């Protein structure tokens, strides 16, 4: 009888140990989540913005960061153009989204800079013909300024962007 009782006691002790380990494990998962990178948020909206040109009045660069999907920036009708947004301070850039009008770009680089002079390419796009929202997630860059270096048009028009969004922390 003693033998059976001892076995049961030991079994209970093992169960208790497993249960407490499960509690510790779940606590560790929570702790890990808390120490991960901060959540990314939209950094570019209503921030200062500059562009290489404007097609005409009403299509200024500020329209690309105003949060309104019905207003747009449009450039002059030639290939070499750019638009950049000033995030106000050096930030971690994790994602860029662009809402293209019909006049989209065939080729462009997404670049970051600390001084709006020396630029580093973080995403190169080629052979694009898509319009609407294009998403570039999983970026790991740092910079104060984020630029679309527009290299080749997809249409006979310029480049036209409803919204240019930069996410990060
Ligand atoms: Ca807009």
How does DSSP assign 87-120, residue by residue? Answer: EEEEEEEEEEEEEE-SS-EEEEEEEEESSSSS-E
Query: How far is the centre of ligand 1, averaged over its atoms, from the C-alpha of 147 (Å)?
Result: 16
Scan for tokens 């480049």, then name that residue: 159
The sign of the CA dihedral 84, 87, 90, 91 is: negative
150 contacts 74 by C-beta, under 8 angstroms: no
| pLDDT given for residue 26 in this prediction | 47
Mark the ranges of the chain whose per-residue pLDDT is less than 70.
Answer: 1-35
Query: How far is the centre of ligand 1, averaged over its atoms, from the C-alpha of 82 (Å)?
Result: 16
Residue 84: strand pairing partners: 50, 147
Query: How far is the centre of ligand 1, averaged over its atoms, from the C-alpha of 68 (Å)?
Result: 4
| pLDDT given for residue 7 in this prediction | 59
| pLDDT given for residue 37 in this prediction | 81
Query: How far is the centre of ligand 1, averaged over its atoms, from the C-alpha of 63 (Å)?
Result: 4
What is d(CA 126, CA 124) in angstroms, rounded to the nearest whole number? 7
| pLDDT given for residue 129 in this prediction | 97
Query: How far is the centre of ligand 1, averaged over its atoms, from the C-alpha of 164 (Å)?
Result: 8
pTM of the model: 0.79
């Amino acid at each position: 009888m003693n033998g059976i009782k001892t076995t049961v006691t030991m079994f209970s002790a093992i169960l208790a140990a497993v249960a407490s380990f499960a509690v510790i494990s779940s606590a560790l998962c929570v702790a890990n989540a808390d120490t991960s990178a901060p959540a990314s948020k939209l950094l570019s909206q209503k921030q200062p913005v500059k562009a290489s040109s404007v097609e005409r009045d009403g299509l200024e660069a500020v329209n690309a960061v105003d949060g309104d999907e019905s207003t747009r920036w449009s450039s002059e009708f030639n290939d070499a153009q750019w638009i950049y947004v000033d995030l106000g301070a050096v930030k971690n850039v994790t994602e860029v989204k662009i809402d293209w009008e019909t006049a989209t770009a065939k080729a462009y680089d997404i670049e970051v800079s600390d001084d709006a002079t020396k630029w580093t390419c973080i995403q190169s796009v080629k052979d694009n013909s898509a319009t609407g929202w294009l998403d570039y997630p999983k970026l790991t860059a740092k910079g104060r300024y984020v630029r679309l270096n527009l290299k080749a048009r997809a249409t006979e028009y310029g480049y036209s962007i409803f919204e240019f969004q930069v996410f990060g922390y």
